[in-house]
Structure 1
Amino acid sequence: MKTENDMKDKSRQEPASSTVEVTAWGGDNNRLWAKLEVRYWWSADGRTFTAETLRYQVDPNNRNSGDVYFRVEAEGDSGWSTLTTTARQDGQWHSLTSQTSVAGNSSFADISFHYDYDVAFAPDPRLRGSVRVKRDTPYIDIEH
């Protein structure tokens, strides 16, 4: 049986995480969509923010050359990284795992993604989405 102290120790070792779904919109009249599911957390001291992509889903057209770009901004900025150039556009959820950490000494972070929607015989429209997440317990730096 776990004691209260065991649970407190575990919470210090494994920061609490949350999951968010980021939706990107674009194309003519913003009718195209893509979704990216992301798990995120701050380190216990608040100095690091980590986001882990889990899976994606895209408006279906049965093509498979979509591009997924990912960015995390808190106090630090990861810049844009390419997660895949072969995303399937079939309306189903597909695994896409990647982890990004940045300096997180702030009370919020922005999780963003772009999706280049693969189309035939025309330029690929770029879909854009972003979510701002807030830290429940802001980090306070106290010098001893």
Structure 2
Amino acid sequence: MARATALHEVVWRSGDDAEVVDHAGRLLHVMKHCEGMGTSLRQYEHAVTVMEAHARHIRVLGPTAERYFTAASLAQYLGTQTPAWSDDPALGAHWEGVRMSYLDLTDRADRCDVARKGLAAGDWRMTWLAGSMAPELDLRAFRDLRTLRNGRDGEP
């Protein structure tokens, strides 16, 4: 689907159309899980291009729980996977640069506030992040929560 729709071109040219950018984020999230069943992000030859554009657009559009979740989950994926279609060290550095862009987004105060509010409201995405990816990615939005839990549980 990403190849047939030229996803990288659509996202690159979408400007700051929130509907297009958020839908692209959902597609990128799904592509993380497509290994062996379709085009995964690591198999998609335009993955870096589309994710760079996506990160740039969500930076401009501002924070939402969905955008926070997408940025965190893509950052985690990019830290554990590498492009399957190239051994070029420059591409690997570019891949890591996109990962850092997503992590930077999750570290911004306005986005941390949205994540915390989502967690307090019971948003399943924030609950899942807080319980699974927050420690691995050291997500600032959930650091205080971990400190409180560790102190309450008697853990160091």
* Greater Cα radius of gyration, structure 1 or 2: 1
TM-score between both structures, scaled by the size of structure 2: 0.22
Bigger fraction of residues in helix: 2
Flag the structure with more relative contact order, 1 or 2, with Cα contacts below 8 A and sequence separation at least 6.
Answer: 1
TM-score between both structures, scaled by the size of structure 1: 0.24
Bigger fraction of residues in strand: 1
